[in-house]
Structure 1
Amino acid sequence: MREIVTLQVGSFANFVGSHFWNFQDELLGLAADPHADPVFRNQHTNMDVHYRTGETQQGDVLYTPRMVSVDFQGSLGSMSSRGTLYNEISPADSDVITWSGGVSTQASEPHKKNLFLQRLYDEGEENATPMNDVNGGGENSSQREIHDRDVVENLESVVKYWTDYSKVHYHPRSLYEFTGLWMDSQEFDNYGIGRDAISGGFRGEEINERLRFFVEECDHIQGFQFVVDDSGGFSAAAADLLETIADEYGNTPVLLYSVRSPGSYTNPMSRKQTVFRDLHDAVSFSKLQSFCKMIVPIGLPVLSTSKAATYLSIKDEKPYHCSAVYAAALHTVSLPFRMEQLGPAADSRDISGSMDVNGLVQMLTGQSRENKVAIMDVAMPAPSLTGSQGNQNLLGNLHPLTPEIRDDVDDSQAVESITALGTFSSGVSRASVPEVNEKVDAAYRQAASRPMFCHLCVVQCPLPIPLPFPSIFGASVGQHGERLGNPITGSRGSLDVHSIPLAARLRSSSAVLPFLENRLGKLCRYGIERGAPGAQLVRSWGFGQDELEDMGETMLKMVVQLKPDSGMSSDSD
């Protein structure tokens, strides 16, 4: 067994994680469904990589994610912090009997379940058939279709918490809420506040104990999948947790995805706010990258009009929408970690390219230069390999989800890892693994520039679209994710699009230089230089001048490794 433990820290990280686990849950259900498309029943993936086996209090065997989530108190909506599997401890059990004075109780109304969660609860009570069986037969299929549409429409208007669309059972040790913070999310907006919060009380140790529970259950952990919303104070909580992982599990690689919603990119109202945010961005990135093997920044300021959303209908103001795209890409690039190892006599027409976390990290970071900042690209949905509609080159349809990068870079030392799911050869006919390999290789041969090395992972199983997935597909996306020649009116959701072919890429490239140079320049300009306007601010966050200069030196080395002819010095912009 080569297990992965997942950590989700911060609000938007949990929005992404909720979609990610919905994909895994959907794949589990389809693999066990005798009426499902055979491509889902022959996935060649080991779901135990991400899941643990346990029992309910009634002795029923079940799967729960090997995951720790950290968020604000109250961020779980109608879900208990103990998940949905076990009963809460009665408040009466903790009554204080030594107090003889009067007692007043302040209680808030519990959050009501939306239509989706209510149906989950009802079906759990009735032990009903799988929820997303929209293609199934039976005398109640038409009634279920009507109910499904009500659920989908309701989710588009009511989602406030990441639990509002989660269809997964969580272990009681998985969900941790930051209690005792007398501030809202808008105030919890910088590294210093997060550092104070994690150092106060026993929060850090409580989170670490939950992490140890899942790690100690593993036979042979292959790595940590860490997703953090680094736009505010949770980046400090993540850095503290990363430091513990480095101390206790130093030989286990951490693959860190730093995610941001478009809402975190609001324009500062004053120069003070600009300094405030720029220093947070620089300090947060510096601390996070120092404790992981590879960091992947994800989150465009505007996703809806980006090339990555060409075939999508995104509302940037909805984390429910944007996180779905990032989760789909995360699912795709992480697929090699849970693929079965096929022997030499196995049929390779369905799957190719298995790799563990350490192998991927070493491939992307351990070449002629050590660049630990990777770029994420996605093609959603991926094009067919042949046809007359638009640009059918798979490589040409991969567009960045990483902000502040250059598009026109010719980097002969670049290294890439591409994963393609359920690609069509033409129409809705699935391409074989050799077909995809051949087409990608041919595209690289015809390209103006090609990377030094490219690892390609191919599976025939597409990405299934669970019922609570948002209605973000454009009018040109068909039922199986094919690109339509004749668009259909309106955006489309899980009742219209049941699965999609998807391609995603992680790449180590000098195209990430603007991202690094911007953070180095902001750190120097606002925190390090003599008379820097933010010097007092970063001191209030607990950083001395020596530590800031060390951060600057480290980032400068990262820049020089990608840009050897740079004449920059540590005190430059």
Structure 2
Amino acid sequence: MREIITIQVGGFANFIGSHFWNFQDELLGLAADSNNDPVFKNHFLNMDVLYRTGETPEGISTYTPRVVSIDYQGSLGSVCSHGTLYNQISPVPSPVFTWRGRLSTHRSEPHKKNLFLRCLDEEEHGASNDIDHEHTESQKELRDEDVIQCLENGVQFWTDFSKVHYHPQSLYELSGLWMDAQGFDNYGIGKDVFSEGLRGEAMSDRLRFFVEECDNIQGIQFVVDDSGGFSSVAADFLENIADDYSSTPVLLYAVRSPSSYMNSTTRKRTISRDLHDSISFSRLSSFCKLLVPVGLPLLSKSKASTYLCLDDQKPYHCSAVYAAALHSLSLPFRMELHGPTANLSCVSGSSDINSIIQMLSGQSRQNMVAILDAAMPAPCLIGSLAEQPLLSNLQPLTPEVAEEEDLQSLESLVIHGVLQSGGHQASVSEVEETISAAYGNAMPMPRFSHLSVALCPLPIPLPFPSIFNYAIGKRGELLGTPALDLPSKGSLDVSSIPMAVRLRNSSAVLPFLLNRLESLRSYGIRQGAPGADLLRSWGFGKDELEDIGEVLSNMVAALDPGSNLTSDSD
């Protein structure tokens, strides 16, 4: 067993996590139904890598994600922090009889379940016993359309579209920290959250619960919304993890929603935002082997969304795209290759977190920043191997990267569910041959490329948003050029899509690094810097800031040895 524990910290990270676990739940459901496409029945992915088996006090078997989710208090909407499987009741604090003053009680009304969650309850409890099959199917179709409409217009919490049962140790609300993204928007405001009120101990205990039941943990998949105070919470948590589990590699996704880029309306806020970006990045990157920045300022306007119809103001929309990419990246970590030789025709390129990190770093020991690219959906393979559009359709989901090709780059490429031009499933060997030919004939070849291939496409569950362009077919095939004036499609029209994703260690990330180095120097280190007082209020002294600047300079120099970046703090 090569278990992975997933940690999700912050609002947008949990939106991504909700979609991610919906994909896994859909895969489990499709594999269990013999009437579905065999490609889902025999996907040769070991779901135990991400899931744990358990048992309720009543003796009922459970199968739940191995995940720790951390968010504001009140962020779970209508879902209880103990989940729904174990029927635990939150303890009521004992009354304090030594207080003689007045008492006031503040109570908020519980959030009501939306139509989607109510339908889930009905299905699980077998509420419908209608004998008329055609009538039942018709009613279900109408109800599904209503559910989709409900989600498109009414998602407020990430739990509103989650169809997964969680273990009682998984969901943690930061006590006393009520949901207020506007007031929790910089690194300094979150700096004491982890250490106050035994929060850090509670978070560490939840992680320990999952770690101690693992046989051979391969790593931690850590997703953090680093656009505000949760970055500080995550950095402190990661520091604890580095101390307690020093031999366990951490793959860190630092994610941001498009709306998080829209807060810098004044020069003061711009300085605060830029300094936050510098401090957040330097702190997070120091506690993981591989950091992947994820989140474009205008995802809907990017090349990555050519065949998508997105609303940047809806985290429900944008998080679905990033979750799809993270799902695809996780496939090599759970491929099964030790069974019959027939398995080799379904998956290829199995790996683990540590191997991917070592490959991308070129065996270097220093921490590294990687670029995430995606093609959603991936195009079909065409007849001419020299003209394949597959690689050229990969577009960055990492912000502030250069477009120039880097022939010294190292990459890990994952492709799954790809179709041939006739709509038939492309075999693993056909995909491998196509990529090899494309690099040999048309595309510049990186210094090193590791390819993982799986037949199983990305399944589209019911609560997935309606973000597909009308030019996308039932199985994700591209039917023509994108049409902007036609309605978008969702899970009722698209059942699955092929995906291609790539992690690459490339000098194309230099603009991202240079922007953070320059912001730190201009606003925080140079004499008379306008953000010096702000950084002091965040707890950073001059010496520490110069150390951070030196670390950033070294990261730039590692990718661009010809750069002449000397400290200019005087």
> What range is the shorter-chain TM-score in?
over 0.9
Query: How many residues are aligned here?
Result: 563
TM-score (ref. length: structure 2): 0.95
Which residue, 448, 455, 460 being the options, matches 2:455? 460
Aligned residue in 2 for 1:45: 45
Gap change, CA 1:535 and 1:106, over 3 Å in 2: closer
| Deviation, structure 1 residue 87 | 2.6
For 1:261-280, list aligned pairs within 5 A: 261-266=257-262, 268-280=264-276
Gap change, CA 1:37 and 1:95, over 3 Å in 2: farther
RMSD: 2.1
Deviations 1:190-215 (A, max 9, x none): 11111122232211111111111111
Which residue, 410, 417, 432 being the options, matches 2:427? 432
For 1:82-481, list aligned pairs within 5 A: 82-89=82-89, 94-95=94-95, 104-126=104-126, 140-181=136-177, 184-266=180-262, 268-342=264-338, 345-367=341-363, 372-386=368-382, 392-409=388-405, 411-447=406-442, 449-481=444-476
Task: Give yes or no for contact 2:12–2:256 (8 Å, CA) kept in 1.
Answer: yes
* Residue identity in the other structure for 1:557: N
| Deviation, structure 1 residue 57 | 3.2
Aligned residue in 2 for 1:132: none
The answer as to 2:511 corresponding to 1:484 is: no
Gap change, CA 1:14 and 1:483, over 3 Å in 2: same
Gap change, CA 1:441 and 1:265, over 3 Å in 2: same
Gap change, CA 1:92 and 1:375, over 3 Å in 2: closer
The answer as to 2:484 corresponding to 1:494 is: no
CA distance, structure 2, for counterparts of residue 345 and residue 479 of structure 1: 31
| Deviation, structure 1 residue 349 | 1.8
* Residue identity in the other structure for 2:292: V
Task: Give yes or no for contact 2:74–2:178 (8 Å, CA) kept in 1.
Answer: no
Task: Give yes or no for contact 2:194–2:237 (8 Å, CA) kept in 1.
Answer: no
| Deviation, structure 1 residue 446 | 1.9
- More displaced stretch, 482-491 vs 159-168: 482-491
* Residue identity in the other structure for 2:447: M
CA distance, structure 1, for counterparts of residue 91 and residue 234 of structure 2: 32
Aligned residue in 1 for 2:507: 510
Aligned residue in 1 for 2:61: 61
| Deviation, structure 1 residue 101 | 7.6
Q: Secondary structure at the match of 1:202?
A: helix
Give ranges in structure 1 of 5+ residues lacking alignment.
130-136
Aligned residue in 2 for 1:5: 5
* Residue identity in the other structure for 1:13: A
Aligned residue in 2 for 1:15: 15
Gap change, CA 1:338 and 1:347, over 3 Å in 2: closer
Aligned residue in 2 for 1:544: 541
* Residue identity in the other structure for 1:144: K
CA distance, structure 1, for counterparts of residue 101 and residue 227 of structure 2: 45
CA distance, structure 2, for counterparts of residue 486 and residue 181 of structure 1: 47
| Deviation, structure 1 residue 330 | 0.3
Gap change, CA 1:143 and 1:563, over 3 Å in 2: same
CA distance, structure 2, for counterparts of residue 393 and residue 370 of structure 1: 34
Give ranges in structure 2 of 5+ residues lacking alignment.
none
Task: Give yes or no for contact 2:285–2:367 (8 Å, CA) kept in 1.
Answer: no
For 1:527-538, list aligned pairs within 5 A: 527-538=524-535
Deviations 1:73-126 (A, max 9, x none): 010000011111233427668455677887654322110111000111222222
Gap change, CA 1:455 and 1:138, over 3 Å in 2: farther
- More displaced stretch, 154-163 vs 88-97: 88-97
Aligned residue in 2 for 1:134: none
* Residue identity in the other structure for 2:243: D
* Residue identity in the other structure for 1:366: G
* Residue identity in the other structure for 1:261: S
| Deviation, structure 1 residue 448 | 5.0
Task: Give yes or no for contact 1:268–1:274 (8 Å, CA) kept in 2.
Answer: yes
| Deviation, structure 1 residue 439 | 0.5
Q: Secondary structure at the match of 1:196?
A: coil
Q: Secondary structure at the match of 2:476?
A: coil
Task: Give yes or no for contact 1:470–1:493 (8 Å, CA) kept in 2.
Answer: yes
Q: Secondary structure at the match of 1:296?
A: strand
Q: Secondary structure at the match of 2:176?
A: coil
CA distance, structure 2, for counterparts of residue 449 and residue 572 of structure 1: 40
| Deviation, structure 1 residue 185 | 1.6
Task: Give yes or no for contact 1:405–1:511 (8 Å, CA) kept in 2.
Answer: yes
* Residue identity in the other structure for 2:300: S
CA distance, structure 2, for counterparts of residue 486 and residue 231 of structure 1: 35
- More displaced stretch, 227-236 vs 101-110: 101-110
Aligned residue in 2 for 1:567: 564
CA distance, structure 2, for counterparts of residue 183 and residue 38 of structure 1: 44
Gap change, CA 1:274 and 1:100, over 3 Å in 2: closer
CA distance, structure 1, for counterparts of residue 498 and residue 487 of structure 2: 21
| Deviation, structure 1 residue 184 | 2.0
Aligned residue in 2 for 1:133: none
Gap change, CA 1:417 and 1:112, over 3 Å in 2: same
CA distance, structure 1, for counterparts of residue 214 and residue 64 of structure 2: 14
| Deviation, structure 1 residue 428 | 1.9
CA distance, structure 1, for counterparts of residue 443 and residue 43 of structure 2: 35
CA distance, structure 2, for counterparts of residue 162 and residue 237 of structure 1: 20
Task: Give yes or no for contact 1:371–1:562 (8 Å, CA) kept in 2.
Answer: no
| Deviation, structure 1 residue 271 | 1.5
Gap change, CA 1:365 and 1:344, over 3 Å in 2: farther
Task: Give yes or no for contact 2:374–2:501 (8 Å, CA) kept in 1.
Answer: yes
TM-score (ref. length: structure 1): 0.94
CA distance, structure 1, for counterparts of residue 306 and residue 58 of structure 2: 48
Gap change, CA 1:255 and 1:53, over 3 Å in 2: same
Task: Give yes or no for contact 2:527–2:569 (8 Å, CA) kept in 1.
Answer: no
* Residue identity in the other structure for 2:162: S
| Deviation, structure 1 residue 460 | 0.6
Deviations 1:458-500 (A, max 9, x none): 1111000000000000011011101013878310000000000
Deviations 1:290-336 (A, max 9, x none): 00000000000000010000000000000000000000000001110
Task: Give yes or no for contact 1:369–1:561 (8 Å, CA) kept in 2.
Answer: no
Q: Secondary structure at the match of 2:219?
A: strand
